[in-house]
């Protein structure tokens, strides 16, 4: 029996190694993509952080990104109006609304200044809590609204199922539950919804049912709404082949059990019947104006909607850059929708 030569042994070993590499590459790609989906579903905190409640508090980042004075020439280390600590001391009542899928959604109501005022419900974005909306108590009073601020599932002290964020696909249930709870005793009250970032995605996902169930929903502010989760991925991590974004989105959809393409704001905007004021800051780096404008362009061509690109402010903090103008635009848009 002939023994293999040294060259044959080397060739065989080379082929064995090559075979292992061919088998390992798909596994390595899968593990890489799986890690990316962790960053999407469990943004910022990771799976362990999203598995526990994270009550809102006055962190340095909240003070710098949420409460800061972002007007031109202002000292950005100072609050625009209320400080975060002042906001926590305002009087409010605490409520919980139950979703159809069994979660308890936390929201706060701030006292109205007159009976029967319309409601203004603020829906914060990802990783945000009621403290991100409490800065708007003086705004609501100036404009003549009773303010309510909610926390989406797996945020703050709302119910937590450990599933992370689904960018409006399931959070729509939270919006529906809170609106129903707000209006259950006074269905005749008008309501103005205001969502920022993932909050705006949640409102758009809830909109078809909101429109049917709550005819007193008069208008909505969609602040820096992402056009789609895929575009956000590409904006945050540019330069990869298009297929890599597609595979990541598909794997994320599989893990979350939702279809992120059908939940995307650009897919849902054509179904919106309620007039929408779409806003964005010029220098928003998370959802740039051109991305946000795609959502506006997808809205029905009814002449009721408006797109405003503001020169100052930041993501989820457009008001902070030009408060007087933003409030005037919000109020004028609301007034235009009244019978």
Query: Which residue from 218, 329, 192, 231 is spatially nearest to 273, judged by alpha carbons?
Result: 218
Does the structure show a pLDDT above 70 at 6? no
| Residue 6 CB partners (closer than 8 Å, separation 6+) | none
User: Where does residue 213 rank: exposed (0-12), middle (13-18), buried (19+ CB within 10 A)?
Assistant: middle
The mean of the pLDDT values for the chain is: 93
d(CA 327, CA 325): 5
33 vs 55: CA distance, rounded Å:
31
> What per-residue confidence (pLDDT) applies to 33?
79
* CA dist., res. 229 & res. 315, Å (int): 16
Residues 220-279 pLDDT 10s: 999 999 999 999 999 888 888 888 899 899 989 999 999 999 999 999 999 999 999 999
Token pair for 328: 């005037």
| 96-148 tens-digit pLDDT | 999 999 999 999 999 999 999 999 999 999 999 999 999 999 999 999 999 99
Q: First CA to last CA across the chain, in angstroms?
A: 98
**Range list of H helices, the chain:** 6-41, 46-50, 60-65, 84-88, 137-143, 172-183, 198-213, 229-236, 242-256, 265-268, 289-298, 323-336
Q: Are 105 and 124 in contact (CB under 8 A)?
A: no
Token readout for 8 is 């044959």
What pTM did the predictor assign? 0.92
The span from the CA of 176 to the CA of 172, in Å, is 6
Q: Name the nearest CA neighbour of 141 among 81, 230, 218.
A: 81
Ordered domains of the chain (ranges, CATH): 42-228+264-336 (3.40.50.1820)
| Measured distance CA(308)–CA(295) in Å, rounded | 12
Residue 40, both tokens: 């999407």
> pLDDT tens across 149-163, in order?
999 999 999 999 999
């Amino acid at each position: 029996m002939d023994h293999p030569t040294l060259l044959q042994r080397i060739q065989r070993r080379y082929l064995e190694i090559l075979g292992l590499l061919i088998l390992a590459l798909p596994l390595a790609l899968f593990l890489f993509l799986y890690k990316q989906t962790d960053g999407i579903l469990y943004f910022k905190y990771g799976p362990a952080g999203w598995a526990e409640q994270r009550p809102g508090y006055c962190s340095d980042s909240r003070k710098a990104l949420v409460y800061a004075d972002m007007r031109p020439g202002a000292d950005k280390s100072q609050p625009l109006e209320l400080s975060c600590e002042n906001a926590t001391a305002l009087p409010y009542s605490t409520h919980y609304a139950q979703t159809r899928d069994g979660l308890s959604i936390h929201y706060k109501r701030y006292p109205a200044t007159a009976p029967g005022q319309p409601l203004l419900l603020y829906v914060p974005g990802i990783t945000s809590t009621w403290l991100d909306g409490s800065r708007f108590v003086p705004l609501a009073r100036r404009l003549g609204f009773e303010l309510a601020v909610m926390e989406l599932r797996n945020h703050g002290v709302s119910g937590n199922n450990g599933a992370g964020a689904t960018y409006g696909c399931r959070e729509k249930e939270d919006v529906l539950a809170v609106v129903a709870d707000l209006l259950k005793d006074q269905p005749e009250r008008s309501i103005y919804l205001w969502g920022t970032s993932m909050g705006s995605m949640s409102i758009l996902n809830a909109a078809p049912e909101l429109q049917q169930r709550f005819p007193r929903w008069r208008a909505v502010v969609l602040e820096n709404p992402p056009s789609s989760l895929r575009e956000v991925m590409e904006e945050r991590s540019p330069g990869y082949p298009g297929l890599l974004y597609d595979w990541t989105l598909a794997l994320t959809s599989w893990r979350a059990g939702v279809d992120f393409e059908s939940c995307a704001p650009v897919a849902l905007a054509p179904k919106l019947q309620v007039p929408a004021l779409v806003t964005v800051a010029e220098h928003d780096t998370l959802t740039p104006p051109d991305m946000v404008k795609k959502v506006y362009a997808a809205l029905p061509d009814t002449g009721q909607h408006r797109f405003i690109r503001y020169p100052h402010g930041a993501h989820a903090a457009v008001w902070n850059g030009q408060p007087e103008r933003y409030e005037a635009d919000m109020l004028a848009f609301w007034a235009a929708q009244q019978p």
